[in-house]
Structure 1
Amino acid sequence: MKVAALIPARYASTRLPAKLIQDLEGKSVIQRTYLSTKQTGVFDEVWVVTDHEEIQKQIEAIGGKVFFSKKSHESGSDRIAETLTEVEADLVVNVQGDEPFQDAKSLRDLVNVFEDKSVQVASLYATISEGEAANPNAVKVVLDQHSDALYFSRSPIPYNRENIPGLTYKRHIGIYGYRREMLQSFTSWPKGNLEQLEMLEQLRLLEHGIKIRMVESLYQSIAIDTKEDLEIAREYLRKTI
């Protein structure tokens, strides 16, 4: 099975303009993401999928593969689906471009669940506290007994009716693995009602009856959305380089 990592890299960003090309101790955010993804050794190929010449130039400068989007896209999944005209892979993993430090174990665990032929889509989650779960920017997921997602929400789920102390929640991590044909199908479907209400594209899969196998990750990633996040990432690199 040939496995490719595809990193959607849109230039525009709201809270931190042009965040993917910001300097991160000598390399840009997107360069760090590409290199750390490649260095995991999990993938046969790693591609950056972008809509901007500066990002293309930066990745090509470090010898990376770039697919330049010919269409405008609403989501990262739509963007990476376009690459399937050029990228030959049986399994595609969508890696977030603004997370410059990728974890090899989490990505390997994600890929390994596809040894089960019934799995069409998989993703990651991490355990968080009840206080963290109150944040609507932290997407929560609840699972069935087979570790398949029952539902995703910006609300704290499950609801703690009896006020059980010390309850933990599962935060969804937005890294997805898709079988090639499933990604092509998924991105051709119209948005469902739940997706439009919660603004979570993975709900489109659940509304179509597609199971999403969830894999626990113990890794605390750094996602860069603000100047403060960028400084945290810089400080992390200063301590590790």
Structure 2
Amino acid sequence: MRIITVLFFAAILSSSITTVSAAGDLSEPEKRVLQQLKREAGATFAIHWHSKTNTPSLITGQLTKPSKYPPEWIAYKFLNQTKALYGLRNPKINMQITEIKEIPDNTVQVRLQHVLYKTPVWGDELVIQMDDQGVINRVEGKLTPHLEEKTFNRPMYAAISKKKAIAIALASSQAGSMQVEDPKVDMYYHPTIAGTPLIYVVSLKNNEFEHKYQKILIHSLSGRVIEHRNL
């Protein structure tokens, strides 16, 4: 079925240089968005899919018309038009701009963090690039779709405090009793954890570490250490 789906969309979006990588079964709204993008971009259009989330990992081409509006307006308009592909209910609420900057080749880059109930989603973000005419030509990143449904449309709450999370992180890290410079703790939804996906991410910094920076992921309900990440 996967091969049939890919061939079907290759036929819909066919051109000599168009790339359509593997995608699972898509809904009618998703198909309509793909057709709209293809009409806008023509032969420049290419799309690749994230194998686990079945959302686009990379879209390239002349994806929008020129615009004199600010980059954030252009980015949100694009996401409103393509929200079916990414499984977003309301991009203005679900996607928070964290950075707008100019990069080489007269390109503006807008970075957006996926947010659920005003809390960021771990590892989920998009980077939208546009030229100096306001034409979006590249959208890259990972989004986990329909997270509201996976959490039964209700926000979750931690059972342990931030202070407790820091203590757990210190106990499980190579920091031990060493002086650590200002541990930082943030709350996230983890998109692949079943049940209660709310986690703390504790960031540690110490020049005595083999790796100077560490991030330790801790389950907010059980206090279990989920992952150590050395940076």
Give TM class, smaller chain. under 0.3
- Greater strand share, structure number: 2
**TM-score (structure 2 length as normaliser):** 0.27
Q: Which has the higher helix share?
A: 1
Bigger radius of gyration: 2
More relative contact order, 1 or 2 (CA 8 Å, 6+ apart): 1
TM-score after normalising by structure 1: 0.27
